[in-house]
């Protein structure tokens, strides 16, 4: 089953609450937390996340692009996060951090940047529910998908299948009507999309079209 996670990063910052409320059919609402250190951009802090949780129907999916994520995860859980993605590159003790997140009761994803090999998650697959493959370099929305990242998605899906593990593979960056089918065919089942949803005048309609294209790519006999 395909899950869609529109990313608020692409919404008008002056109207974030309205944007959060505009996609009630999303499976997750994706929120990119950036600290100006792990990535150059600076975005959402816990009070803003808490305020958005009151406007959004979908559960909040936080992608922490921050250094030392272990210092802040509890604050983001208290603010309303239901899934948290932490970067393998940012966590000094990734396994311990995932155990902490598990004890806090949230779904856990491990994120990897385009230059990070898929093997970086191999020894923590028992401690997460999802792997988030960055399909652009993190920091900004509106970039083009890097094709080599989909080969990592294929490798990860093959590894999961060979180990009999049921884990979500999330792709994030440059997902639109042109790229979504290739991402799904590579093995992704959860799609983060910012510009393709909130860059349109009709976020709910854009989300529905993207979901239909993704589901079409899963169904044999349909061309997308």
Where do contacts with ligand 5RP occur on this chain (CB under 6 A)? Answer: 7, 9-10, 30, 32, 63, 136, 138-143, 172-175, 192-196
Cβ proximity to ligand 5RP: between 165 and 205 the closer is 205
Cβ proximity to ligand 5RP: between 46 and 139 the closer is 139
Beta bridge partners of 190: 3, 170
Distance in angstroms (rounded) separating the CA atoms of residues 115 and 117: 6
HSE (side-chain half, CA atoms, 13 Å) at 54:
5
Distance in angstroms (rounded) separating the CA atoms of residues 166 and 157: 10
Q: How far is the CB of 32 from ligand 5RP (least distance, A)?
A: 5
Q: How far is the CB of 135 from ligand 5RP (least distance, A)?
A: 8
Cβ proximity to ligand 5RP: between 159 and 212 the closer is 212
Distance in angstroms (rounded) separating the CA atoms of residues 131 and 110: 5
CB of 170 within 8 A of CB of 192?
yes
With CB atoms as reference, the residue minimizing the distance to ligand 5RP is: 194
The answer to the question of whether 139 is labelled as a binding residue is yes
The answer to the question of whether 80 is labelled as a binding residue is no
Q: How far is the CB of 179 from ligand 5RP (least distance, A)?
A: 10
Q: How far is the CB of 35 from ligand 5RP (least distance, A)?
A: 12
The answer to the question of whether 201 is labelled as a binding residue is no
Cβ proximity to ligand 5RP: between 101 and 196 the closer is 196
- Identify the helix (H) or strand (E) that includes residue 46: helix 46-53
Q: Which residues are catalytic?
A: 32, 172
Q: 89-97 — which CB contacts under 8 Å span 24+ positions?
A: 89/38, 89/113, 89/116, 89/120, 90/38, 90/64, 90/65, 90/66, 92/68, 94/124, 95/123, 95/124, 95/127, 96/70, 97/69, 97/70, 97/73
The answer to the question of whether 172 is labelled as a binding residue is yes
The answer to the question of whether 174 is labelled as a binding residue is yes
- Cβ-based neighbour number of residue 164 at 10 Å: 6
């Amino acid at each position: 089953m395909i899950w869609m996670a529109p990313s608020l990063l692409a919404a008008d910052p002056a109207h974030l609450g309205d944007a959060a409320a505009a996609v009630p059919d999303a499976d997750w609402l994706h929120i990119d937390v950036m600290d100006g250190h792990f990535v150059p951009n600076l975005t959402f802090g816990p009070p803003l996340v808490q305020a958005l949780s009151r406007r959004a129907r979908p559960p909040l999916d936080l992608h922490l692009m921050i250094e030392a994520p272990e210092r802040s995860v509890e604050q983001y859980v208290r603010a309303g996060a239901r899934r948290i993605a932490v970067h393998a590159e940012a966590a000094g003790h990734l396994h311990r951090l995932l155990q902490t997140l598990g004890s806090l009761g949230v779904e856990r994803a491990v994120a990897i940047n385009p230059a990070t090999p898929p093997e970086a998650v191999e020894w923590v697959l028992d401690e997460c529910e999802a792997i988030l493959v960055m399909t652009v370099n993190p920091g900004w929305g509106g970039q083009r998908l890097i094709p080599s990242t989909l080969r990592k998605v294929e490798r990860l899906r093959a590894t999961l299948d060979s180990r009999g593990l049921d884990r979500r593979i999330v792709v994030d960056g440059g997902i639109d009507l042109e790229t979504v089918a290739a991402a799904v065919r590579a093995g992704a089942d959860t799609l983060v999309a910012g510009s393709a949803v909130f860059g349109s005048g009709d976020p709910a309609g854009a989300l529905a079209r993207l979901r239909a294209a993704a589901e079409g790519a899963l169904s044999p006999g349909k061309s997308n």
